[in-house]
């Protein structure tokens, strides 16, 4: 049976994607080299091509993987039966925890690269839009249920996601504050913007 093989291949792909994301973090898109991605896994750059068509394909799939993880996270929050305040708090914490633990993954999100094909670009933007919409839904719900003030949903969402996404720029695994502390504080302060 080949599913065993397929599974192994999938796993390897995952490893490569993670490695790629890790490099993306501090080198940026163009700065990320096949060599470095491979080195982290004790492979040679040539073997990357057994799993991915080329660099752009690899980095595109990297995007998809990250977005899927994010979407799974926020979907589970949306589907839970908490009140809007707790939902927003959870969504914020979830995002930060993901961004700081799987830290490597997140940076890849900013500025979907110009090397992407039109099709790939659309897909990435679509997934992003979905993610944003989930936040909007939570905020809307809060307004409807009168627990949030009559805020400008889009603006507030942009502020929140901006604050969250920027964390990658300064977060340090070995820094003074834990991801847990950061996420608690962020949730508290950001909620002050919207709760009545």
Partner DNA sequence: TTATTTTTTGAACCTATGTTTAAAATTCGT
Partner DNA sequence: ACGAATTTTAAACATAGGTTCAAAAAATAA
Is residue 105 part of the contact set for a second copy (CB under 8 A)? no
User: Rounded to 5, what percent of the chain is helix, strand, coil?
Assistant: 80, 0, 20
- Min dist CB 8 to DNA, Å, is 5
Q: Does 170 bind DNA (CB under 7 A)?
A: no
As a whole number of angstroms, the distance between CA 84 and CA 145 comes to 8
Q: In the range 114-173, which residues lie near a second copy by CB under 8 A? A: 114, 151-152, 155-156, 158-167, 169-170
Q: Does 27 bind a second copy (CB under 8 A)?
A: yes
Residue identified by tokens 């700065």 is 31
Which stretch in 46-54, 87-95, 101-109, 130-138 sits in contact with DNA by CB under 7 A? Answer: 46-54
Instruction: Out of 24, 34, 90, 127, point to the residue binding DNA (CB under 7 A).
Output: 34
The span of 44-52, 67-75, 127-135, 146-154 binding DNA (CB under 7 A) equals 44-52
Please identify, using beta-carbon distances, which residue of 19 and 100 lies nearer to DNA: 19
Q: For residue 101, what is the DSSP state? A: H
Tell me the C-alpha distance between 159 and 195, whole Å. Answer: 15
- Least distance from a second copy to the Cβ atom of residue 97, Å: 16
Question: Residues 6 or more apart from 18 whose CB is under 8 A from it?
Answer: 104, 105
Max Cα distance, the chain (Å): 59
* Partner touching 42 among DNA, a second copy, none, CB below 5 to 8 Å by kind: DNA
Separation CA 127–CA 84 (nearest Å): 23
Tell which phi-psi region holds residue 175, choosing left (phi > 0), alpha (psi between -120 and 50) or beta. Answer: beta
Which residues, other chains included, contact 47 with Cβ-Cβ below 8 Å and sequence gap of 6+?
38
Could you list the residues that contact a second copy (CB under 8 A)? 26-31, 110-111, 114, 151-152, 155-156, 158-167, 169-170, 182, 185-186, 189-190, 192-193
Could you list the residues that contact DNA (CB under 7 A)? 1-2, 4-5, 8-9, 12, 32-35, 42-47, 49-51, 54-56
């Amino acid at each position: 049976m080949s599913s065993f093989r397929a599974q192994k291949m999938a796993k390897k792909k995952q490893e490569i994607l993670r490695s790629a994301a890790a490099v993306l973090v501090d080198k940026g898109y163009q700065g990320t080299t096949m060599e470095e991605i491979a080195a982290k896994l004790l492979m040679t750059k040539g073997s990357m091509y057994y799993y991915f068509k080329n660099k752009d394909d690899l980095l595109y799939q990297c995007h998809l993987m990250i977005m899927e993880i994010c979407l799974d996270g926020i979907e589970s929050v949306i589907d839970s039966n908490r009140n809007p305040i707790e939902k927003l708090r959870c969504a914020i914490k979830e995002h930060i925890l993901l961004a700081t633990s799987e830290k490597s993954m997140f940076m890849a999100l900013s500025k979907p690269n110009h090397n992407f094909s039109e099709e790939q670009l659309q897909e990435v933007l679509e997934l992003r839009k979905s993610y944003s919409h989930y936040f909007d839904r939570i905020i809307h719900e809060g307004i409807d249920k009168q627990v949030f003030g009559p805020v400008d949903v889009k603006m507030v969402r942009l502020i929140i996601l901006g604050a969250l996404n920027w964390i990658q720029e300064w977060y340090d695994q070995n820094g003074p504050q834990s991801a847990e502390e950061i996420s608690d504080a962020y949730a508290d302060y950001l909620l002050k913007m919207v709760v009545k």
